Amino acid sequence: MTKITSPTPLTPLPSDPRIFVKREDQNPCGTHKDRRNALAVQRALDAAIHMLVTITSGNQGCSLKFLAEGTGIRVVNIIDAHVDPAIEQALVQAGSAVRRASLSRELSSEEIIALARRNCSERIMDVTHGYEDAFISIIEELQSLCPDVIVAPVGSGELFVGLHQGIELYGLPTSLIGVGVRATRNSIADKLPARWTPYRDQIQSILRDPRHRLLRLTEAEVRTCVERAREEGIPMEPSAAVVLGAIDRLPEDARNVVLINTGKGLVPER
């Protein structure tokens, strides 16, 4: 199985040396999803699974297919009926099987598997959610820095929950700031609007600790973040660039701050 690049680089933000960028865009598929998909593929191999299926908006599906190469495990990606055709094309070019489905309601794991199944003998695993512990490795790589604040995008919350698990595991005093969007759909930060998520209760529990908080940006603020990412010279898709929106809201005494750049994007901006 292809191994991901670990640890990923940590580079200072050009305009502010107290802020560092954790470069998850330097993983093989240019996304933090490589960490969780490497874990998913390994668990599938251990369980003699024939097929992996996931709901994706692009990055997760492309990463999963790449990391499953050479294992004999088939990958099927489920995309929303209204997803940009360029996303479907990119997934197909990566060699993935793609199914379009209406995702206007939450699908059960059984329904997701049924969309991929070809015959009753196939051993299929839904890997849409449930791999938050893969992101503990990010905290392991950051523990020597002992950052005052870590800022990460929040979509479903898988990354946010995993980072919090790492902070607790390593006993760090770090504050965790999640950044999402106010839009429920049609945001340029298209990976972040989440109409449903299995992590909702865990996120609410984390936010009961006053060290941690969640910001939600307007579309105008998201666009400002995208422009700032260009000015800083950092390859960030809009769903990653939102972390720049937290800079002006950091605690005054924050010295070591880490922004998680979750990725550069599967499909180039048009």
What is the tens place of the pLDDT at every residue in 80-139?
988 888 889 989 988 889 999 988 889 999 999 999 999 999 999 999 999 999 999 999
Cβ atoms 125, 52 nearer than 8 A: yes
Picking from 220, 151, 166, 164, the residue whose alpha carbon sits closest to that of residue 188 is 220
Q: pLDDT tier at 185 (50, 70, 90 boundaries)? A: confident
Q: How many whole angstroms separate alpha carbon 54 and alpha carbon 151?
A: 26
For residue 78, the model assigns a pLDDT of 95
Query: How large is the average pLDDT for residues 63-68?
Result: 94
The pTM of the full predicted model, rounded to 2 decimals, is 0.94
Residue with structure tokens 């191994």?
3
Looking at residue 41, its pLDDT comes to: 97
pLDDT for position 3? 54
Write down the pLDDT at residue 265: 83
- If you average pLDDT over every residue of the chain, what do you get? 93
pLDDT digits (tens, 9 = 90+) for 213-247: 999 999 999 999 999 999 999 999 999 999 999 99
Q: Exposed, middle or buried, 153 (CB in 10 Å: 0-12/13-18/19+)? A: buried
- Other C-beta atoms closer than 10 Å to the C-beta of 124 total 20
User: How would residue 198 be classed by pLDDT, with cut points 50, 70 and 90?
Assistant: very high
97-101 and 175-181 beta bridge pairing: unpaired
Give Dmax over CA atoms of the chain in angstroms. 59
Tokens matching residue 60: 């997760």
In order of their start, the domains of the chain are 10-31+132-261 (3.40.50.1100), 34-126 (3.40.50.1100)
Cβ–Cβ under 8 Å, residues 69 and 92: no
DSSP state of 197: -
User: What per-residue confidence (pLDDT) applies to 24?
Assistant: 96
pLDDT at 270: 36
Task: Give strand pairing partners of 176.
Answer: 150
Q: What is the pLDDT of residues 21-58, one digit of tens each?
A: 999 999 999 999 999 999 999 999 999 999 999 999 88
Tell me if the bond preceding 7 is cis, omega within 30° of 0: yes
Confidence tier at 5 by pLDDT (50, 70, 90): low
User: Dihedral (C-alpha) 32, 13, 255, 206: value to the nearest 10 degrees?
Assistant: -30
Instruction: Give how far the C-alpha of residue 230 lies from the chain's centroid of Cα atoms, to the nearest Å.
Output: 20
Give me 94's structure tokens.
């990566």
Please count the CA atoms within 13 angstroms of the CA of 208 that sit on its side-chain side.
5
